[in-house]
Structure 1
Amino acid sequence: MNTPLTPLEPMLRTFAVYPDRPALIQDTAVICYAELADRTARLLTLLRESGLQPGGHVLLISPNTPDALLAFHAVPLAGGVIVPLNPAFGDEALNFLSVHADPQVALIDAAHLPRVQTTLETLNIPVIVTGDSDLAARLGALRPSPLKVPENLDEDSPISINYTSGTTSDPKGVMLTHRNAFLCLGNLLYHLNLRPHSVLLHALPLAHGNGWGCAWAVTAAGATHVPLPDPRGLREALCVQGITHLYASPALLTSLTDPAAAATLPQPVKLLLAGTSPNPRVLRTLQQQGFEVLHGYGLTETSAVMVVTDEADLGGLPDAPQVLARQGHPMIFGGQLDVVLDSGAAVPHDGQTPGEIIIRSNLVMKGYYKNRSATRRAIKHGWLHTGDLAVVHPDCRVEILDREGDLLKVQGQPVSSAQIEAVLYRHPSVREAVVVAARSSEGDLPVAFVTLHPGAQVLGRELLGFCAPHLPAHALPRRVQLVPELPKTASGKVLKHVLRAQVREKQVVQPAD
């Protein structure tokens, strides 16, 4: 017998098995699973009355709130496809993607409705306003719909469309299927050991890979969601909410790893860390604070994280922080990952030879919505080509170097910007470090952009002197530029192309400050 693989069945199981357990906590308000099930059933009714048809798209623009998590439960149970847009996107991007996504219904947080209201009115899209008391009153007046897996559900049909950026030039709406989401859920239950007593803090936007799949995995475990609307409240939330689990990017955690204001956790927290490669110093600081770190790698196209290095597997290793900084092995349902040369041959497992990461997995997306050319570029001969460059170590763990095209060619030799950044991060004053290339007649010239911890006082030339014993002469940054902040995307990734443009404009070829 075959039934569709979907996160909806584990969700319905939790509604039935754990009705009295806390499902959602925000501030002092607690919602149990019986209440969440009731609200979900009533939102199903409202979505259908608003015109949602099976397979229809439901736009969601909201910070991390109880209503946003409610949408992740109700929309797929109503047979719809949730399309969460990060409210940190600019207005132009939000309006463009709101049109591109072809929604039948929109769930919009009251604070963000003015940003897209004219566009949605022009499209004649019914809007359900979230984030205020009106929605609760509106749902209370409706009859709940039966909670069950939609009839004739195809596990290969999309459960979500997740846009990887706010660009309007080449929109990439990643179509993740019910099957993708189910296997991602299994990975998270196993590797994070989510149980009914677990309490997970949603600090990264839920729009980012459906909270890296945690929007459904936490419910499947019968655990408790704690949505964090503003990531600036991360430190306080970790200290007062009884959090046991967190998923985050290194950029989100920089305020916690400031040596002058280190955070102290009241209880251990299992941390799934991914997004960019953390340096060993940051990892050591997080471990000292009480985080049990799992370092992962993945893309929205792979249902978020699909490779992991687990701190628990590194006991006794003399270089455990350095190994933990690598991205690791595929998760239990991660599928196949290879690192290949331009010829297609696998790189040797020597920790030195770079190649491109390619992936064949049940976690890989169905494709990009309304963008067949981008889908063809990404998925070739049954493999997802990530554009990420990495090496493979003798223990078979993968270590990311750069995006394809980011690897520097200095004096005819390949230099990884990540390796230069790792040396800069060893300096206690460095908060963030990013290295890009300045083009010249001599080839690439490494240029470092650095932010400092509050109160730190160090000059660029001092940082250069610090790096000199740890890098070959040709790999030393030609300039170290101290900046107050780095330009970033809505999900916290550094916009390297903006830094490259600054380098070009200044024609940086002089020695470091």
Structure 2
Amino acid sequence: MKSSIFTQGLDKNPANYVAQSPLTFIERAALVYPQRPAVIHGSVTRTWSETYARCRQFASALTQHGIQRFDTVAVMLPNIPAMVEAHFAIPMTGAVLCALNTRLDASAIAFMLEHGEAKVVLIDPEFSGVMQAALAILHEKKLPLPYVIDVSDAMYSGSGKAIGSIEYEQFIAKGDPEFSYQLPSDEWDSICLNYTSGTTGNPKGVVYSHRGAYTNAISNILEWDMPRHPVYLWVLPLFHCNGWCFPWTVAARAGINVCLRKVDAKQIFDAIREHQVTHYCGAPIVHNMLINAPDDLKEGITHRVSAMVAGAAPPAAMIEGMEKMGFDITHVYGLTETYGPASVCVKHDDWTSVDVGERARLNARQGVRYHLQHAALVMDPETMQPVPADGETMGEIMFRGNIAMKGYLKNEKATQEAFAGGWFHSGDLAVMYPDGYIKIKDRSKDIIISGGENISSIEVEDVLYRHPAVLAAAVVAKPDSKWGETPCAFIELKAGANPTPEEILEHCKKHLAGFKVPRAVVFGEIPKTATGKIQKFELRKRAGSATAIDV
């Protein structure tokens, strides 16, 4: 390497280099805004000073219990204060937080506890039944059991029982609120372990770093222009990609975490009114629920509410509905492997001059890279070259940068495949528009090939959502002896709606080319994963027996 004046005596040292970690956010919030509220949950309100002290106390108690660097501490909790505290306290010990999906069954939970080698697990009584069953599976396999801490919650009114060795408040009382924790010596240290949905086979364990969590937390602020002291409502499950890194984002802005045990339209609107909520995140299905809630639930909300949506690509009708409700919606896109959102549909001022339908079409795109993500492109997975930005040529969305996982735990083969060619492969098929914006067309396995023509299930779903009777829609391939495959639509109807399949198809014919119109319509509840994503693999099984209709 060529010698340079800039390589001599300019080394890293403790004065000019500190590992980036989101733990620095809560330390600053408590120092600068000690008396500002940090957490609200029912009758409980705690300041940033109090929350910081509780986190240090919890970390101290874990350390006394023997938890060390790179141990795994799991939590099975709803969106309650202890869940917020876990996002700081567990990393303060050097350990790795594993937030378990509260909607999973015992066998899936048992797999995660075993695979992640959890030493401790915090359990809310609402989930004691499934956790007992999961622990029993570990016991039957003669595996070591994690130490169980029960987390009581005054807002819980169910019949779940305590099953642990100690209650949470008793446990943290053993710790020191002045506990002197250390930031990681290496910002590449692991901070969290999250499991994918696992719709086929065992879920994969996605590992996050302190650096990645820090980076995405800041990028969330930039994408939303989030001011100081936001009031953030926890609609999004904190177990889902660690709440898209928003526990750390809220701390960085010294905001308020308004906790919510249950996703319920009335509770959400009540919380927005009472606490003057400014921000929340949620999947399309949650926003759809709010749009279709009775009008009286929405009364009295006159302030600006910023909503962030991700998951499946939101249909234009949902974006229109949120706009009519007066909520400002930001569409983001990402995966568990990208710490949640890693691209955003940045809105432009001139979009306000177009009609709402065109504005919704523009906003429905997955957009451009997050500020602090290095790159998000649509690429040909064979050549690893970007596709033409013509809005038509399909490729795979790929990411590169600090907002990408470390890899899959104990799965080097899957990690290498995910990072083939030096990019993270999302598995989502998309096009790139001339303005550089990405638009998902489908998952690679969800494209329907009918008579040699590619049909985007998302395009058909978008049209279905525009029908006034449709609450939720999913389109999959139905085997066809003539065409190979044809679209089959599964539809959940709004309360009181009773259209015929023929009416649905007539609606589709007005907006789609003939070969894209579904050949079968099935009404009923649509199966979803534990994170609210539609289980298309289940629908594919049902599609074969669906009755075809002449169109």
Q: TM-score category by the smaller chain?
A: over 0.9
Q: How far is the alpha carbon of 1:508 from its aligned partner? A: 4.3
Q: CA deviation at 1:410?
A: 1.4
8 Å contact from structure 1 (residues 50, 105) kept in 2: no
CA contact (8 A) 1:402 1:417 kept: yes
Contact 1:438–1:508 (8 Å) recurs in 2: no
Separation in 1, partners of 2:90, 2:28: 17
**Given that residues 34 and 47 in structure 2 are in contact (C-alpha distance below 8 angstroms), is that contact kept between their aligned partners in structure 1?**
yes
Q: C-alpha displacement at 1:155, in angstroms?
A: 0.7
Q: Which runs of 5+ in 1 are unaligned?
A: none
CA distance in 2 between partners of 1:234 and 1:250 (Å): 15
Q: Does 1:446 align with 2:487?
A: yes
Q: Specify the alignment match of 2:241 in structure 1.
A: 209
Give the deviation of 1:270 after TM superposition.
0.8
Deviation of residue 326 (structure 1)? 0.6
Give, in angstroms, the shift of residue 238 of structure 1: 2.7
Moved more, 165-174 or 65-74: 165-174
**Any conservation in 1 of the 2:384–2:421 contact (CA below 8 Å)?**
no
Distance 2:457 2:302 in 1: 36
- Distance change in 2, residues 1:405/1:166 (3 Å): closer
What TM-score results when the alignment is normalised by the length of structure 2? 0.88
Q: CA, structure 1 residues 229+107, in 2 after alignment: closer, same or farther (shift >3 Å)?
A: same
CA distance in 2, matches of 1:379, 1:395: 27
Which residue number corresponds to residue 120 of structure 2? Answer: 105
The answer for the alignment partner of 1:155 in structure 2 is 187
Equivalences for residues 27-106 of structure 1 within 5 A: 27-106=42-121
Count of paired positions: 509
Judged with a 3 Å threshold, the aligned counterparts in structure 2 of structure 1 residues 42 and 168 are, in CA distance, closer, same or farther, namely farther
Counterparts of 1:425-504 in structure 2, within 5 Å, are 425-441=465-481, 442-483=483-524, 485-504=525-544
Deviations 1:207-250 (A, max 9, x none): 10100000111011100001211112333333333210011110
The answer to whether the aligner puts 1:371 opposite 2:411 as a matched pair is yes
Letter in 1 for 2:479: R
Task: Please state how far the C-alpha of 1:144 moved relative to its aligned partner.
Answer: 2.4
Q: Does 1:326 align with 2:365?
A: yes
- SS across alignment from 1:310: coil
2:145 paired with 1:124:
yes
- Normalising to structure 1: TM-score of the pair? 0.95
Secondary structure of 2:527's aligned partner: coil
Q: Compared with structure 1, are the counterparts of its residues 291 and 507 closer, same or farther at alpha carbon in structure 2 (3 Å cutoff)?
A: closer
Map 1:30-429 onto structure 2 (within 5 A).
Answer: 30-117=45-132, 118-119=135-136, 123-132=144-153, 134-150=167-183, 152-166=184-198, 169-232=201-264, 233-258=267-292, 261=295, 263-264=298-299, 265-311=301-347, 313=349, 314-318=351-355, 319-341=358-380, 342-429=382-469
Q: Which amino acid aligns with 2:244?
A: W
Runs of 4+ in 1 over 4 A off after TM superposition: 119-122, 259-262
Greater mean deviation of Cα atoms: 206-215 or 307-316: 307-316
Residues 103 and 530, structure 2, Cα contact 8 Å, conserved in 1: yes
CA distance in 1, matches of 2:73, 2:220: 25
SS in structure 2 at match of 1:253: helix
* Structure 2 unmatched ranges of 5 or more: 1-15, 155-166
Contact 2:119–2:145 (8 Å) recurs in 1: no
- Counterparts of 2:248 and 2:100 in 1: how far apart (Å)? 17
1:20 matched to 2:35? The reply is yes
Q: Deviations over 1:392-429 (max 9, x none)?
A: 11211111111012111112111101111111111111
Deviations 1:154-173 (A, max 9, x none): 11111100101256833311
User: Which stretch shifts more, 34-43 or 115-124?
Assistant: 115-124
**314-323 or 350-359: which moved more?**
314-323
Deviates more, 1:227-236 or 1:74-83: 227-236
Q: Distance in 2 between matches of 1:110 and 1:51?
A: 25
Give the C-alpha shift of residue 252 in structure 1: 1.4
8 Å CA contact retained: 1:446, 1:477: yes
SS of residue matched to 2:475: strand
Are the equivalent residues in 2 in contact too, given 1:54–1:78 (CA < 8 A)?
yes
* Partner secondary structure for residue 396 of structure 1: coil
* Residue type at the aligned position of 1:305: P
RMSD (Å) for aligned C-alpha atoms: 1.9
